[in-house]
Structure 1
Amino acid sequence: MADSNTTKHALAAALKELMEEKPFSKINIADICAKCSMNRKSFYYHFKDKYDLVNWIFDTEFMEDIENGKYDPNAWKFHRDLCNYFYENRNFYRKAMKIRGQNSFSEHFRERCIPMFICVLENLVDEPGINEIQLNFFADAFLLSIERWILSKDCVQPDEFIEAMKSCIRIAHKIHVDDL
């Protein structure tokens, strides 16, 4: 097990280094393996493809801590921790969030965050159950805002971004839907 994790972390470090040098689309499995002196067989023993490796990096560096209870389940605390993590690793995630298509990081990020959104919304809404439209509305707003923020050239500090998000929610709360 320790060897497996050592191999995975070596492959992850190699991919991160390569993503500093060139676009993700120009990186292939041979490049990753050469960077950490491994063979393709080792790579494919642990990962389906380079997209799987990107997703594994997020899961082990951030989501694993969530699942192990190291982060407060409070929605704003989770948001702050997530934004701090992305900001600290913004060079990597700026490139990861630009990956499109099947197995993209953006899709994986969404899938991993959906259970948190369900939990938060169920605690906030007085109605029983959250329907798919409500879930997608809030998930899209949250996820696309984070993506736009981290991709911006002049990415503000995480606390400033979170305060701006809170301000948006306060404004939305003041709007009476029937008046629109």
Structure 2
Amino acid sequence: MIGSLITKKKIAKIFKKLVGQIGFEKVTIAKIMQESHMRRQTFYDYFQDKYELVDWIFQQEAIEKIEDNLAYEAWQTIVENLFIYFEENQLFYRRILQFEGQNSFQEYYTQHLKALINQVLVVKNRSEGELKESDRLFLEEFYANAFVSLTSKWIIGGCQVDSHRFAEQMKIAFLMGFEEKQ
């Protein structure tokens, strides 16, 4: 088990480096495995394709900052940690975000953000009463898409605003959106 995780991490590290150098579309399985000095078949022992590898990287590195901390961290801390991670890995994600085809990062990111937004709504509803499921689903979709859109623009723009400030702005947007209920 440990050996497989080490191998996956080595493949992921080489993949991230290549994506940063030549872009997502130009990275091939052959290039990844040649650079990592492993057999091509080893890649397929762990991943179906490079899309699954991107999902795995995001799951291992970023999603754990969301889902693994939902039970005990405030959502505001999770948001800040997520943006620090993106800022540290901005070259990789800038290249990934430029790809908008099937299995795009944006789709995957949106789905995982809904869990975070759901958590915010659950906490909010405890103090203000029950929210209809249709309204909750709408808010999850709305805020997840807004979050992904602004995050993508921020990363593609080179993270001009530092991660702490950007996280603060996103938190303000969430709080203002939840403050007034009609």
TM bracket (short chain): 0.7 to 0.9
Question: Which aligned pairs between 1:49-128 and structure 2 lie closer than 5 A?
Answer: 49-64=49-64, 66-69=66-69, 72-125=72-125, 126-128=129-131
Secondary structure at 1:139's aligned position in 2?
helix
Distance (whole Å) between structure 1 residues aligned to residue 101 and residue 76 of structure 2: 30
Shift of 1:149: 1.2
- TM-score when normalising by structure 2: 0.84
Shift of 1:92: 0.9
Verify: 1:158 aligned to 2:168, yes or no: no
Aligned Cα root-mean-square deviation (Å): 2.4
Q: Structure 2: which 5+ runs fail to align?
A: none
Identity of aligned residues (%): 32
Structure ranking higher on relative contact order (CA contacts 8 Å, 6+ apart): 2
Distance (whole Å) between structure 1 residues aligned to residue 56 and residue 109 of structure 2: 11
Verify: 1:135 aligned to 2:168, yes or no: no
Shift of 1:2: 1.5
Secondary structure at 1:120's aligned position in 2?
helix
Greater than 6 Å deviation, 4+ residue runs: 173-177
Distance (whole Å) between structure 2 residues aligned to residue 147 and residue 84 of structure 1: 14
Shift of 1:65: 5.1
For residues 170 and 130 of structure 1, do their structure 2 counterparts lie closer, same or farther at Cα, with a shift above 3 Å needed? same
Secondary structure at 1:25's aligned position in 2?
coil
Shift of 1:170: 5.8
Note if contact 2:65-2:78 (Cα within 8 Å) is conserved in structure 1: no
For residues 173 and 69 of structure 1, do their structure 2 counterparts lie closer, same or farther at Cα, with a shift above 3 Å needed? closer
Note if contact 2:20-2:95 (Cα within 8 Å) is conserved in structure 1: no
